[in-house]
Amino acid sequence: MSQNIYDQGEFFENYIKLDRQTKGLDGAPEWRQLRAMLPELKEAQVLDLGCGFGWFSRFARSEGAAYVRGIDLSAKMLDNARSMTSDDAIAYEKADLENLTLPEMQYDVVFSSLTFHYLVSLPRLVAETSKSLKRGGRLVFSCEHPLFTAPTTPNLVVDQDTGRKAWQIDAYQREGIRTRTWFVGGVQKQHRTVGTYINLLLGSGFRLTDYVEWCPSEEELVKNPGWEVELIRPTFLLIGATKD
C-alpha cells in the first residue's frame, strides 16, 4: 500500500490550513490554468484521482457533470469531503491508486491534482486511465514539476557575493524516490523526468494538447513576492491530453 501521510495527525493539522484547502480551488495559484484545460463538464462522467477534500468533485457537479467519482487513500480526507456535500451524484471512495482498476470507456474527464508524483506505479495508472476514457475524453492533471522533484536534497543556495539564488540540480536523470520534509519528515515522492511524463501519455494512446510549467504573472508577483522562487524553477507542471 502507498504511504498515507494525509492520515497522520501532525501532517493533517498543518495540511488543512493551506490556502488550497481552506479556500478551495481558487486558493491554488495554478487552478486558473488547469481549469482552462478542462472540456465542457455539462453531462460529463468525471473521475477525480486523489480527490482530497473533494473541491474539484463538487466543482465538476456545479458545472453540470452528470456523475463524479472521487477516489482517495485517506479516510480523513474522504470524511471531510463527504461532510461538505449531500449530492447523490458524487461518489467518494477509499482506494489505493497504486493498484486501482478502472472500467472501460466510462469517463469523459479524468482529473488529478498534485497526486501523480506520489505514485510508484504511475505507468499502470496512466494505462488504466486511458482505458477508462471514452474516445476524445480528456485527462487533465497537475504534478510537482520534475525540476522541483529532481534534487536528492532540495536546496536553494544563495551566492554570498552576488545574492543570486540557485536551485541545485544533482540527479535529474536518476528517477525514483525522493524523501522530503513537508510539515513532517519522511514524505516520499517519486521523481520522474519531463520525458517520462510525456512518454507515459504518448505510449498510452494520449495526444498531448496542453503543457504548462506554472509561473506567476507580474501581477501575481506583486501580490505574492514569495512566489519569485518560481522564476528560478517551477513547482507545478500542468498537463492536458486527449484520448485518441
Q: Which of 36, 95, 202, 222 binds a second copy (CB under 8 A)?
A: 202
Is there binding between residue 72 and a second copy (CB under 8 A)?
Answer: no
Q: Which residues pair with 141 in a beta bridge?
A: 112, 239
Q: For residue 106, give the C-alpha cell.
A: 466510462
C-alpha 25/C-alpha 1 separation (Å) is 28
Q: Which is nearer to a second copy, 186 or 203 (CB)?
A: 203
Q: Which of 8, 63, 167, 187 binds a second copy (CB under 8 A)?
A: 167
**CA distances to 67, 117, 192 from 177, in Å:** 35, 10, 9
Site string for a second copy, 110-149 (x = CB under 8 A): -------------------------------------x--
State the minimum distance, in angstroms, from the CB of residue 208 to a second copy.
Answer: 5
Is there binding between residue 160 and a second copy (CB under 8 A)?
Answer: no
**SS3 at position 161:** coil
φ, ψ (nearest 5 deg) of residue 222: -65, -40
Q: Which is nearer to a second copy, 14 or 209 (CB)?
A: 209
Could you report how far apart the first and last alpha carbons of the chain are, in Å? 32
Sole residue written with cell 510549467: 213
Contact residues for a second copy (CB under 8 A)?
Answer: 147, 151-152, 155, 157, 164-174, 193-195, 198-199, 202, 207-213, 215, 230-234
